[in-house]
Amino acid sequence: DGGITQSPKYLFRKEGQNVTLSCEQNLNHDAMYWYRQDPGQGLRLIYYSQIVNDFQKGDIAEGYSVSREKKESFPLTVTSAQKNPTAFYLCASSMGRGQYFGPGTRLLVL
C-alpha cells in the first residue's frame, strides 16, 4: 500500500542526547515536510525539502537537523540544542495536490 510511515511511534530522549525520527514514503512525492504539534495547537513547520539533496529551514528549525539523501526518506534529528523537544512530530509529503501525513512520532523527555 502507498503511504507514509514514521517510526518509532514513541521516542524517549535523555537530556543531552540526539535522537532521530524516521519518515519514509512510497508515494513518489518530491516534497517532504516536518511539522511539530504542541498540545492544543496547530502544526508548525520545522524543515522542508522539495527535492533530493536539498532542504530548507521552516519557522522553528533551531535545534533540529534533517537530510534528504533519497527521495523516499526524510529523517529528522532532534539535537541536544532543542531545549523543549517534547511534542508530537508529523511528517508529510506532497506532489502539489495537498500534503499527506504520516501517523506521527510522540517524543518525550526523560
- Residues making contact with another protein (CB under 8 A): 31, 33, 35, 40-45, 48-50, 56, 58-59, 88, 90, 92, 94, 96-104, 106
Q: Pick the closer one to another protein by CB: 82 or 99.
A: 99
Question: Which residue lies nearer to another protein by CB, 51 or 81?
Answer: 51
Kind of pairing between the strands at 19-25 and 99-101: unpaired
Q: How far is the CB of 61 from another protein (least distance, A)?
A: 11
Find, among 38, 36, 39, 33, the residue nearest to 55 by Cα.
33
Rounded to a whole number of angstroms, the minimum distance from the CB of residue 24 to another protein is 15
Calpha distance 34→61 (Å, rounded): 10
CB of 104 to another protein, least distance (A): 5
Instruction: In angstroms, give the least distance from the CB of 20 to another protein.
Output: 19
Q: Contact, 54 vs 69, CB < 8 A?
A: no
The nearer residue to another protein, 8 or 103, going by C-beta atoms, is: 103
Q: How far is CA 52 from CA 22, 29, 32, 69, in A?
A: 16, 11, 10, 6
Residue 63's Cβ-side half-sphere holds a number of Cα atoms within 13 Å equal to 13
- Residue 58 or 63: the one with the smaller Cβ distance to another protein is 58
